[in-house]
Amino acid sequence: MSGPRASVRELLGSTRARLSAAGIEEYRLEAEILLQHALGIDAARMFAGLNDPVPAGVEGVLTMAVDRRADREPLAYIIGNRGFYGREFVVTPDVLIPRPETELLVELALEWSAGRSGLRIADIGTGSGALAVTLACEIADAGIDAVDLSPDALVVARSNALRAGVENRVRILEGDLAGPVEGQLYQIVFANLPYVRADTLAAAAEELRREPVLALLGGEDGLDVVRRLAPMLPSIMDAAGSIALLEVDPLTARGAIAAVAEALPRAAVRVERDLAGLERCVVAELG
């Protein structure tokens, strides 16, 4: 097409219209994010330059991104990153996209860690490494072991540790649950394991089904993986003082509490709610 090039404002308008027509609920925000991504600039610069002509090549990149989004690919996979606890994380379709409710686990761990030093932390099922890398950034003298079954996820976790400059304190280990860290003792154990029930996943939005099923599916009742981890906890938690933080599905939180309480009869076990008021984290404290 010849003629004067569209302005950034015009392109933003047409992108919003396309996403809205495709049924994307947050089409305004998502249009802004996709356009920033295509332009390679941040929101402030984009809004300051709304009247500027769109540079050559940008429309093509944007069209491809909008097509992918209209086809229900999650936004984070298209732009390749997602914010978590104030930092940017690389995400690919090999990892679960970090969720805001998972920040609750960070807050609870940081609260517990106040006044303690030299902490050893395990992140079982680290995925993108969001929890492991965040804790390494927040607690400067902590040593973290980040475990995942998926080698592809661990590539992403490693790149996030490198980007954050904490690769010397985040050990990346491949294997099933606590298998690779058997014989080690930790003061903090994170586990955001797959916990989505099979029926929930089958009925979920297409976007959720684009995420790795390995990171989501917890079997018929959602508790398969939690039930396998629970009996491993006593051998990796420091009896003198430790905390385990398991993210759970609010639908099955009670079953997760029962599994953890049975495995750790001496622990104080409770459930914490997320910002939406949903039971989201099973907490077990020893010592």
Question: Which residues contact ligand GLN by CB under 6 A?
Answer: 96, 99, 192-196, 208, 216, 247
Nearer to ligand GLN, 134 or 192 (CB): 192
Shortest spacing between CB 211 and ligand GLN, in angstroms: 8
> Which strands sit side by side in the sheet containing 268-273, from one edge to the other?
170-174, 143-148, 120-124, 188-191, 242-247, 279-286, 268-273
Nearer to ligand GLN, 62 or 95 (CB): 95
Shortest spacing between CB 278 and ligand GLN, in angstroms: 10
Q: Name residues whose C-beta falls within 8 Å of residue 38's C-beta, 6 or more positions apart in sequence.
A: 58, 59, 61, 62, 65
Shortest spacing between CB 200 and ligand GLN, in angstroms: 7
Nearer to ligand GLN, 99 or 273 (CB): 99
Q: Measure Cα distances from 232 to 124, 132, 178, 227, 236 in Å.
A: 11, 19, 7, 10, 7
- Cβ atoms of residues 145 and 123 within 8 Å: yes
Nearer to ligand GLN, 30 or 247 (CB): 247
Shortest spacing between CB 96 and ligand GLN, in angstroms: 6
Residue type, 149: L
Nearer to ligand GLN, 97 or 133 (CB): 97
Nearer to ligand GLN, 139 or 216 (CB): 216
Residue type, 257: I
- Written as six digits, the tokens of 2 are 């010849």
Q: Which residue is nearest to ligand GLN (CB)?
A: 195
For residue 186, the cross-strand partners are: 237
Shortest spacing between CB 245 and ligand GLN, in angstroms: 13
Shortest spacing between CB 153 and ligand GLN, in angstroms: 13
- Cβ atoms of residues 125 and 145 within 8 Å: no
